[in-house]
Amino acid sequence: MQESGKLLIFFPRPAYTIVSNFVWLVTMKKIRNYIILFDVLLLLLLSGMWAEREAQKAFSSYMEQENVPAMQTDHIHKAEENTEESEYVPEDTNYVEPEEKKIAITFDDGPNAACTPTLLQGLKDRNVKATFFVTGKNVEKNPQIVQQMYGEGHLIGNHTYSHIQLNEDNRETFKEEIEKTSMAVQEITGEGTLYVRPPYGSWDKEFEKELNMFPVLWDIDPKDWCSKDVGKIVETVCEGAEENAIILLHDQYETSVEAAFEIIDRLTKEGYEFVTVDKILFD
C-alpha cells in the first residue's frame, strides 16, 4: 500500500508476535550470560577467600611447630593487614641484652716515673678506668703523673705517705700519713682522697669516722711484686675473676704493666667491664 509517496508495510499480527518473541529470547539470553558471568566471579571470589583462610591456617600451624612467640606472630599478622605501614618484627621478644660484669683493676705504690706513664697510655688506648692507690712521697716526686691520672678520669686513692703498716704503737703516725697524702693529692688535683688502701690490709675501723674515708681491700692478689712471670700473673687473675671483684697490682714493675694489659684484653673478651672501685662499692 502506498500513500503520499511513502511505502507503508503492515505486518500481520502473527509476524509481530514472532519479532517480539525473538527480541525477548535475545534479551533473556543476555541476562542468562550475565548471571553465568556473575556466578563465575562469585566462585572465584569465594575460592580466593578459602585459599587465604587455608594459607593462614597453614602459617599458624608452622609458627606453632617452630615455637615462635605469640607476640612475634602478632607483629607479622599486623604487617600483613597493613602493608602501607612498616612494622618492626623482633627476632625474639623474650631476649634480654645481658649486662656486662663489672670488675675493678687497681694499682698500688705509685706513681712511678718509669712504669706509670706506659700504663696510663695503655689504659687510654683500651678506654679503661682504673684506681690508683698512691703513696704521698711518690705523689710529691711525680705531680705531673698524678695530674694526668686525674685528668684522664682515673680514681686516686690513698696508700699512706711512706707505705707504713698500722700496728698498736703507730696509730697516730699512721693517721697523720694518710692525712698528709690526701693533702698532697689535693694540692695537685683540687680534691682530697676518699678511699684508702691500708698497706698489708691493716686497718682500724675507727679511722672511717675520724678521717671520713672508706677502706678498700682486694679480692685477687697475684703477688706481682715478687714475680716476673707475666703468664702466671695473668692466669692467677683471670682464673679468680668474677663479677664485682677487685684486682690488686702494682705500677712499679714492667712485668705488672704488661700483665695488666693482657688481663684487661682477656677479661674484656669474656664480657667484663672495668670500672673504678667506687662503682663496685656503691652502685
Residues tagged active-site: 108, 250
Please tell me whether the peptide bond between 199 and the residue prior to it is cis, using omega within 30 degrees of 0: no
**Which three cell numbers mark 269?**
673478651
If DSSP codes are grouped into helix, strand and coil, which group holds residue 272?
Answer: strand
Q: 224: closest CA among 246, 245, 248, 201? A: 248
Which of 133-155 are b and which e, b meaning 16 or more Cβ less than 10 Å from the residue's Cβ? bbbbbbbeebeebbebbbeeebb
If DSSP codes are grouped into helix, strand and coil, which group holds residue 52?
Answer: helix
If DSSP codes are grouped into helix, strand and coil, which group holds residue 106?
Answer: strand
CA distance 83 to 81: 6
Please, which contacts does 25-30 make with residues 24 or more away whose CB atoms are closer than 8 Å? none
**Which three cell numbers mark 246?**
677487685
Supply φ then ψ for residue 272, to 5 degrees: -90, 145
